[in-house]
Amino acid sequence: MKLFTAQQIRDWDSYTMQEEPIASIDLMERAATACVDWLQHRFPKQEFYTIFCGKGNNGGDGLAIARLLMARNCSVTVYIPESGQQGSYDFQANLERLNQVYPEVIQFIETPEELPLVATGNIIIDAILGTGINRPATGFTAALFDYINSLSNIVVAIDMPSGLYADKAGDNNPVIEADHTLSFQGYKRALLMADNAGAVGEVHVLPIGLDPDYYNQTNTPFEVIDAALIATIYKPRLRFAHKGNYGHGLVIAGSYGKNGAAVLACRAAVRSGIGLLTCYTQDSGYIVLQTSVPEAMLITDPDPDHITELQLDTTPYRAVGIGPGIGTQPATIKAVYQLLQQYRQPMVIDADALNILAKHPDWYDLIPSGSILTPHPKEFERLFGATTNNFTQQQLALEKAQLLNCIIIVKGHHSFIATPAGKGFYNTTGNAGMATGGSGDVLTGLLTGILAQGYTPEDAAIFGVYLHGLAGDLAAAANSMEAMTAGDIIEYLGQSFQQIGRYGRSI
Ligand SMILES: NC(=O)C1=CN([C@@H]2O[C@H](COP(=O)(O)OP(=O)(O)OC[C@H]3O[C@@H](n4cnc5c(N)ncnc54)[C@H](OP(=O)(O)O)[C@@H]3O)[C@@H](O)[C@H]2O)[C@@H](O)CC1
Ligand SMILES: Nc1ncnc2c1ncn2[C@@H]1O[C@H](COP(=O)(O)OP(=O)(O)O)[C@@H](O)[C@H]1O
Ligand SMILES: [K+]
């Protein structure tokens, strides 16, 4: 799903109004109806709502929502901060409509003394500012945000939490802290950023019937990974296939006390569809690996505790994954350097292999083109330096992806995949149950396995991250976020592949 800027969304509105055609007030009614349907589906017993409306179209949505909720037997109070300015055309039209049927629900407020008491059970609707925000909220608007944020009521933001910019960072500007954000038609980038987690709450995308032609014709560097994209990437198994068709991968992982990282990476790799897998680990990992992952072949380092030198020819492997649990011993550092010198095909670089790289920036040029780097935000910072917010972090990821001709996956709740061609993909599968040791090792094994099967590095990254998150979601549904383990993610890869296999048939 393409991610549009606030300006592109405005253009999409105009295009739809002209082509469908539909009057802007009717489009607003459609958006408001989608919100009310969502509210009644999510909170079927809820009766009382307090709605704060600004004087732009976001406020117009709020007024239409108020009228529709009243018509569905809810009880609503609307507060409009009085700025002294005329509202937008559709705000005024909706004010008139509401005034005609339920004049008693409308109240204007001008000073902090007029901030209303909100009963604890009321749901607050934030329709103060949407994508039209062009400066930080100050004065009474900022005081209103503070007041709403101080209440314990559930807050549902319409389109955007008020105060948040859709396409840029806000420098700690005042924002509404919503529990739910109902974003029209698609996501905005700000809604996907960890920096804004406290403001956006859970994000729900509500289709409002904007014209698909605009969507198809309009280019954007950013996309959310969705089922439609995954269906175009996934390669179903060939009926007459033999294991040679699906590549031979090598996972270099583990050290004394961290056999688990190697086990998790290898178990994920052998469940990725890979033809053959070899693991390279320290000598003391022999029995552990052979017992826990009998499907994988094993080559051990002469050192009992660490990977010290790569006593194998890496060239026959179609993909190599390195990093989980390897540590940063001087001898291991040499082994990483040796691999970078001898292996020229795309590899997956994770964990301590990234930490080692970060200490040797002069080795960056040795990273084979098309490699996939999987830093979490701290590793990203070690590799490429500190950034002030997620927008600058992602911009830096795009610049480095281009410079190194690599894919960079900045891992997180919505992992961000930066490609050398300047595209950025956000993942929406996965959950906080995956914030547990070993989840990243699983991803490394999975990516190595997918890359070995001949997927392009970009496709492997998109597919692998999505699949990993989907398996995490199924694991959480079965075991709870608390009790699920990284190993459970691997157990649910099977069901995830089955689900993905159905996408192609249903789209
Ligand atoms: N396809 C869709 O998505 C659809 C979208 N729709 C809805 O339209 C919304 C966008 O509406 P919008 O353009 O009227 O802007 P909105 O956010 O209401 O702001 C209004 C005005 O506030 C002002 N202002 C700016 N910053 C400020 C500040 N810090 N503090 C105080 N004031 C500030 C600024 O005016 P200025 O003061 O600069 O003249 C600005 O123009 C969108 O989010 C969605 O809810 C649906 O109705 C239909 C389909
Ligand atoms: N809250 C979350 N929501 C979605 N995915 C998450 C969340 N927390 C972690 N993950 C995923 O789990 C993995 C964790 O990787 P990493 O931090 O390297 O863990 P480890 O080093 O313990 O293996 C990443 O793929 C990340 O995207
Ligand atoms: K809002």
Q: Which CATH superfamily is domain 227-506 in?
A: Ribokinase (3.40.1190.20)
Choice from 131, 135, 167, 203 to test ligand 1 binding pocket (greatest atom count within 8 A of CB): 131
pLDDT, one tens digit per residue, over 420-462 is 999 999 999 999 999 999 999 999 999 999 999 999 999 999 9
Q: How does residue 506 score in pLDDT terms, banded at 50, 70 and 90?
A: low
Q: Which CATH superfamily is domain 6-220 in?
A: YjeF N-terminal domain (3.40.50.10260)
Ligand 3 midpoint to CA 191 (Å): 12
pLDDT, one tens digit per residue, over 196-245 is 999 999 999 999 999 999 999 999 999 999 999 999 999 998 888 787 78
Residue entry with tokens 């890496």: 314
What pLDDT is attached to residue 505?
66
Lowest mean pLDDT among 309-313, 334-338, 347-351, 376-380: 309-313
pLDDT, one tens digit per residue, over 139-182 is 999 999 999 999 999 999 999 999 999 999 998 999 999 999 99
User: Per the annotation, does 136 bind a ligand?
Assistant: yes
Q: What percent of the chain has pLDDT over 70?
A: 99
Residue entry with tokens 């503070």: 146
What pLDDT is attached to residue 244?
78
Query: Alpha helices, DSSP H only, in 161-204?
Result: 197-200
Ligand 3 midpoint to CA 143 (Å): 15
The pTM for the full model equals 0.96
Helix (H) or strand (E) segment spanning residue 458? helix 457-479
| Alpha-carbon span 265 to 287, nearest angstrom | 16
Choice from 326, 439, 444 to test ligand 2 binding pocket (greatest atom count within 8 A of CB): 439
pLDDT, one tens digit per residue, over 487-496 is 999 999 999 9
Residue entry with tokens 């705000």: 91
SS3 25: helix
ipTM of the complex: 0.94
Tokens of 314: 């890496």
So where are the chain's domains? Answer: 6-220, 227-506
- Kindly report the backbone phi and psi dihedral angles of residue 15, in degrees, each rounded to the nearest multiple of 5, phi listed first: -60, -45
Tokens of 246: 């699906």
User: Per the annotation, does 390 bind a ligand?
Assistant: no
pLDDT, one tens digit per residue, over 297-324 is 999 999 999 999 888 999 899 999 999 9
| Nearest ligand for residue 412 CA | 2
* 414 CB neighbour count, 10 Å cutoff: 25
Q: How does residue 507 score in pLDDT terms, banded at 50, 70 and 90?
A: very low
pLDDT, one tens digit per residue, over 29-84 is 999 999 999 999 999 999 999 999 999 999 999 999 999 999 999 999 999 999 89
